[in-house]
Structure 1
Amino acid sequence: MTTVLIVASAAPKQPAVLVEALERFRDRGATVTVACFFDSAELPIDPALADVRTFAVPVEKRDARFRKALGRAQANRKLWLHARRNAWLRQRYRKADLLVALDARTVHTVWEMAQRNTRAGAHYGLVPALRALDSARTEPVGKRLERQMAAAAGIGARGAKRAAVQTVRTTLRKATGQTVMSNPAGAWFWTRAVAAPRVPDRFRSKLAVRLHDSAVRAGRPAVAARAASAAVNRISSAGTRADVLTQAAQSELALGHVPTGLHDAIRAQLALADSLVSKNPTQSAAAVSKAWSLSSNRVLHFDRLTSPMSEDPGAFLAPFRASAAARKLSGPRCRLAPAAPAPTDRPLRLLVTTLINDNFLPEILERYRAMPNVEVRFLDLHEDPVTRPLALSGSAVIEHLLAGESSYGAKIEEWLRPHLDWADTVFVDWCQATAALFTLHDPGTARIIVRLHSFEAFNFWPHLVDFSRVDDVVFVSEHLQDLSTAVLPQLAEPGGPRLWVIDNAMDLQRYPRVKSADARFNLGMVGFSSVAKDPRWAIDVLRRLRERDERYRLTLIGSNFNNRTSKPAKDYGKLLSKDLAELEPLDAVRRYGQTDDVPAALQEVGVILSTSVRESFHCGLVEGAASGAVPVVRDWPFFAGKPHGARTLFPADWVVATPEEAAERILDATATEERWRETGQVASEHALKTWDWTVTQSGFDRLLLDG
């Protein structure tokens, strides 16, 4: 009886053809097995015709060597790597009389099987296999022996080559590892070896990245920088030089370090972009995207307690301001006509738009939807799954801006033009993708308003916005306006958009509630999920208080700390977890969790803390103050010592510089229940008369209705 093994990488588009072939194999007395690289349930075959099985299984995480082999292998070879590990399949192909590749991806796998079962015929396709079965020719003994010897020799040669390559790789990996690069002699040798003459760029670049990574992991960033620099100076290709520096910077960022060669990598990518901007906008856009990706990495700005952007925006962004390609992204293209004045014969058409985050819009939407002289539409660019990908592609926006036109730009025009034609005023919340897309094309006579929150100032999106097409830019605080104009100088240039400072829209009337006497000793934080909130600063304050009085405790309101964003966030999270493990069993710290009823949570809080390193406004602090809790605000380090910051936004007695000052303010304000309630009442009155929506809505009326 003839045994046939058919190998398939995907379910055939015409199963009936396979079924007909299996029937012909059965009629000729053959036993057929179909080995699938997919779920065999997708191939409903009568068991009387063939034994159909799935044999490819997920790779075990602990099998690092096999995972690496899969990562290096080409697509068709991956199937063979899986096949040769499967005992069931090995048994089948060694006993088969006929081996059949059902599709192109399995041809290499069947060929490898035939090298190990030389008496079997191997064919691509069902028709040749059936024809071979029908011919029933007997191969001459001499020819068969010749083929078997050739196959055995080929297998041996390939195995020897793989073993040699693997040995070289293993040796090189060990010779360039952390241990060697931590040794001065080893570092000296490899720094010179990577700069040796006549080394191909391809090999030199890989070696440079490997040496840099090993030196960084060994705690020798200066050695890492020297090795990368030595290699780059010998590399002739501008693209390869930029990629080496970029990979080196990315490896340091992955470890949570600020790369010593960050600006070198950014400049290299921008130099490459400048050289390509006129002749190849696509490649130029890719280089600019890499530069912005490096400069916007969250390790630099969000997952540490400092940021180079806040220290000196001009110096940090200097490479972009010197780059022709980067300047072209935000260059003014101007509008064809000025925004039309508000209509007098019909309601004002107001389009409010955002991307995903509408947290700061409910009060605004509710107010203007209730006005008979305003017609409101709301557009979230993330809601439609068909157009959503268009709103999430920063690289496509960059390519369009460099090229001047693109199919992507045409799709954006088709998508947003009806909204621009309808609206008299477009209010864009968050200066990110939405703002860039609404200024990608001429807005017609629609008035464009963009509100910038703090997050965007550290991101690349505002640099893709054409502010010559924006009429008004809104900030929630003066210190945010200061930072934003330093990051985006075009905002402050003559002829630029009008700049507004309008507080966040908050309904604070629902927060004042009677607090129990026990709340006097309860500190509270609203939001502690990120490094920027710096909850460990609050714990430092708590420890100082409990040294004086163990009745003080801390309530953390909101989602748990997110330690999955980067290595620095993970490291911070470990320290925070250690603090909580010590203090929670003592009932000194309690996690309230996420809640939709923040006023109820704040009713238990007697002192509200803002311990962040940066805030644009801090709604949670203001809500706590409105509830009657005593506000204690850290002088946010990102803005401390500058013309505007926490000290100019809040009353002077609310703001402290150190945990010691915070503890003293709390001890003084909570010395007696009467003093605590009086201090909290004064804070509540100030919050309500300064930031409640009944007060701040007039600013939005002037912005949206009066212009």
Structure 2
Amino acid sequence: MTNVLIVASTLPKQPAVLIEALERFRSRGATVAVACFFDAAELEVDPVLAELRGFVVPAAERDARFRAALGRAPANRKIWLHARRNPWVRRRYRQADLLVALDVRAVHTVWEMAQRNTRAGAHYGLVPAQKALDARRALPPTRRLERQVAATAGIGARGARRLAVQTAKTTLKKATGQTVMGNPAGAWLWTRAVSAPRIPDRYRSKLALRLHASAVRAGQPAVAARASAAAVRRIGSPKTRAQMLTKAAQAELALGRVPTGLHDAIRAQLELADSLLTKNPKQASFAVSNAWSLASNRVLHFDRLTSPMSADPGAFLAPFRESVAARKLSAPRGRVAPAATPPSGRPLRLLVTTLINHNFLQEILQRYESMPNVEVRFLDLYDDPVRRPLALSGSTVMEHLLTGETSYGAKIEEWLRPHLDWADTVFVDWCQATAALFTLHDPGTTRIIVRLHSFEAFNFWPHLVDYSRVDDMVFVSEHLRDLSTAVLPQLTGPDAPRLWVIDNAMDLQRYPRPKPAEARFNLGLVGVSSVAKDPRWAIEVVRKLRERDDRYTLTLIGSNFNNRTSLPAKKYGKQLAKDLAELEPIGAVRRYGQTDDVPAALSEVGVILSTSVRESFHCGLVEGAASGAVPVVRDWPFFADKPHGARTLFPADWVVATPEEAAERILAATATEEQWRQTGQSASDHVLKTWDWTVTQSGFDRLLLDD
């Protein structure tokens, strides 16, 4: 007797066809069972023809593991997951001589059954099953076995490939997960497996990325680096190697970590760029752009309390200085004629230009617009909606610099040449896209001045500027000049521009205002929106003060902390939020918020803080000191061990190294109201005599008006 098991995933649209087939099976002496992935009562079949059973596991009987498996499985595999839990179904498919999938969704389940009962024939559809039954009866036992094997292979061809791929992926995912890579034995095994010979580059790189990500998530960056290095040694394609290392570094950056293989990834991209430089400059520019994207990532420099650029600029930028393609980006191309001296028979034509940010230009524009011997034009490249995109693509600038002539370069020439022809002097604020574009072509006899503030030193844009076409570079402090020359050797070479240190233009006369007596115990911090401002350092100061005197409070002036830039910023923001949740309800901290009237906000502040890890100058601190608040300046860590920094910019008694020192200075300066007012007035006198616009404007006059 032949046992037949039919699996149906849905109620047949034509039950009569099934009943007719069952009658034929019965007439040939077969015993038939129908396993239904629906309510068997919906299908009316004479019990003499077949035994019907439903096999859906009731929801109440599904444990957590089974529910999780169902949630991950595709639709056709869910049928099998239910079937293998049903004792009746298991018994029937083990006894079956023929396994039949009634519909396409049942194919996978029948295939799974055939893998467990290899003597059974497996078929899709009733007609092939009936033919197989007839053939089975006519064949001798040996041929019957061959047919069974062939039938099993036939149905397997429909689903085996997809299942095998899915099974391999699932197995690989589990076998290379963070649990395995966090185990020394597992890490050892996979590090050797990824370096095995004769694995195609694309598969090796994918496996290496998987291992790298798992090891990083397991908190094993050294293991991740070893796995990547092992794979790289076997990858022959420079492009695949660069892509793999770059993706691995990007994955770590996304998790807020400084990649252990950062320089390896940067070097791989630059080596690829160098190899493509002569035969495919466009592809070379993409590789250089990828290298700079890694090196300029904000996680490295802006959303953490340290930066590798500050620690050792030369070491951090070494791969770029070794690369032919990277050096070509800022190679001096010179100018046909030097800048002309200021005209004597007409006003000096001064073009002041920037991109988006003109916060530091108000006093400068007002002064020279009021002078009869100066004609001023202001140009914000962002104001031109049609050409604006030309100023926002660093990779396109790199492509032009490496290829020499592009349609992009022609568009920049068309856009900026009229401004260069009109101006005697161009003052470019911020050493970013505007500076790169104004030096993309020979400026003729027009004098080019560029001012670098701070963040640009950690970005790629200054490396796209042709300094042989820049006459003067302006910095707002000596420590920023020192950092910039360490980052940009072009600023000290034979084609280097003149270097100036000129303080920010600030109208400080509007800040001195009467302060109420209770302001003596109120600390103020202007600007708290970024990690670099490190407002938690200020909170630590107020904690220490309140241990001695709970009258001390902290006012945070400015927009709220921005925690959307990266994962490290988000983590810092969460810690800051916890601090505020603890201290705001008891009145120890209050948020003043964004304001257009900073002098009014500062009139309530008795002590002004600078808690940043880096500053080029810190206008908010100086404005607070001008108001009569006692200045307390953290020795900015980015520059604390350098020749210039907060200690050389400000009076020595303003600067402290730790929150404990800050608290002691504040307690001493605010011991009495008389002491507090005297210390604040002394600070106000100092900043007004040193940094008010009435004093610093002479530096701009020398820069812009003198021969």
TM-score of the superposed pair, with normalisation by structure 1:
0.78
Give the SS at the match of 2:638: coil
Q: Which protein has the larger Cα radius of gyration, Structure 1 or Structure 2?
A: 2
Letter in 1 for 2:198: R
Alignment-derived partner of residue 423 in structure 2: 423
Q: Give the gaps of 5 or more residues in structure 2.
A: 1-67, 74-103, 106-126, 129-152
| TM-aligned CA distance change 1:278 to 1:154, over 3 Å | farther
Question: Quick check: 2:635–2:645 contact (8 Å CA) kept in 1?
Answer: yes
Q: Distance in 2 between matches of 1:229 and 1:586?
A: 53
Give the SS at the match of 1:444: coil
TM-score of the superposed pair, with normalisation by structure 2:
0.78
Q: Distance in 1 between matches of 2:199 and 2:496?
A: 52
Q: Distance in 1 between matches of 2:399 and 2:493?
A: 26
Structure 1 position 494, deviation (Å): 3.2
Structure 1 position 495, deviation (Å): 4.0
Give the SS at the match of 1:513: coil
Alignment-derived partner of residue 306 in structure 1: 306
Alignment-derived partner of residue 552 in structure 2: 552
Percent of counterpart pairs with the same letter?
83
Alignment-derived partner of residue 665 in structure 1: 665
The superposition leaves residues 489-544 of structure 1 with CA deviations (integer Å, 9 ceiling, x where unpaired) of 11122341110000000011110000000100000000011111011111111010
Give the SS at the match of 1:443: coil
Q: Distance in 2 between matches of 1:462 and 1:314?
A: 15
Alignment-derived partner of residue 521 in structure 1: 521
Letter in 1 for 2:358: D
Give the SS at the match of 2:244: helix
Structure 1 position 180, deviation (Å): 1.1
Moved over 2 A (4+): 153-168
Letter in 2 for 1:699: G
Q: Distance in 2 between matches of 1:618 and 1:473?
A: 20
Q: Distance in 2 between matches of 1:155 and 1:415?
A: 67
Alignment-derived partner of residue 221 in structure 1: 221
Structure 1 position 167, deviation (Å): 2.7
Structure 1 position 157, deviation (Å): 6.4
Q: Distance in 1 between matches of 2:526 and 2:311?
A: 27
Alignment-derived partner of residue 236 in structure 1: 236
Alignment-derived partner of residue 195 in structure 1: 195
1:103-252 matches, cutoff 5 A: 161-252=161-252
Letter in 1 for 2:587: D
The superposition leaves residues 439-472 of structure 1 with CA deviations (integer Å, 9 ceiling, x where unpaired) of 0000011100000011001111100000000000
Structure 1 position 594, deviation (Å): 0.6
The superposition leaves residues 159-188 of structure 1 with CA deviations (integer Å, 9 ceiling, x where unpaired) of 654444333222211211111111112111
Alignment-derived partner of residue 702 in structure 2: 702
Give the SS at the match of 1:524: strand
Alignment-derived partner of residue 280 in structure 1: 280
Alignment-derived partner of residue 675 in structure 1: 675
1:532 aligns with 2:532: yes
Alignment-derived partner of residue 606 in structure 2: 606
The superposition leaves residues 117-161 of structure 1 with CA deviations (integer Å, 9 ceiling, x where unpaired) of xxxxxxxxxxxxxxxxxxxxxxxxxxxx99xxxxxx999966654
Letter in 1 for 2:278: S
| TM-aligned CA distance change 1:156 to 1:558, over 3 Å | farther
Alignment-derived partner of residue 510 in structure 1: 510
1:389 aligns with 2:386: no
Alignment-derived partner of residue 476 in structure 2: 476
Letter in 2 for 1:662: A
Alignment-derived partner of residue 459 in structure 2: 459
Alignment-derived partner of residue 690 in structure 2: 690
Q: Distance in 2 between matches of 1:547 and 1:304?
A: 29
Give the SS at the match of 1:379: strand
Structure 1 position 306, deviation (Å): 0.8
Give the SS at the match of 2:491: helix
Q: Distance in 1 between matches of 2:221 and 2:646?
A: 36
Letter in 1 for 2:207: L
Letter in 2 for 1:362: Q
Q: Distance in 2 between matches of 1:207 and 1:597?
A: 57
Q: Distance in 1 between matches of 2:307 and 2:347?
A: 45
Structure 1 position 671, deviation (Å): 0.3
1:257 aligns with 2:257: yes
Give the SS at the match of 1:371: coil
Letter in 2 for 1:309: M
The superposition leaves residues 87-128 of structure 1 with CA deviations (integer Å, 9 ceiling, x where unpaired) of xxxxxxxxxxxxxxxxxxxxxxxxxxxx99xxxxxxxxxxxx
Question: Quick check: 2:525–2:609 contact (8 Å CA) kept in 1?
Answer: yes
Alignment-derived partner of residue 588 in structure 2: 588
Question: Quick check: 2:467–2:495 contact (8 Å CA) kept in 1?
Answer: no
Q: Distance in 2 between matches of 1:356 and 1:470?
A: 21
Q: Distance in 2 between matches of 1:570 and 1:615?
A: 22
Give the SS at the match of 2:648: helix
Letter in 2 for 1:548: R
| TM-aligned CA distance change 1:557 to 1:198, over 3 Å | same
| TM-aligned CA distance change 1:169 to 1:347, over 3 Å | same
1:490 aligns with 2:490: yes
Give the SS at the match of 1:315: helix
Alignment-derived partner of residue 562 in structure 2: 562
| TM-aligned CA distance change 1:156 to 1:700, over 3 Å | farther
Give the SS at the match of 1:195: coil
Alignment-derived partner of residue 21 in structure 1: none
Question: Quick check: 2:332–2:495 contact (8 Å CA) kept in 1?
Answer: no
Letter in 1 for 2:338: P
Alignment-derived partner of residue 631 in structure 1: 631
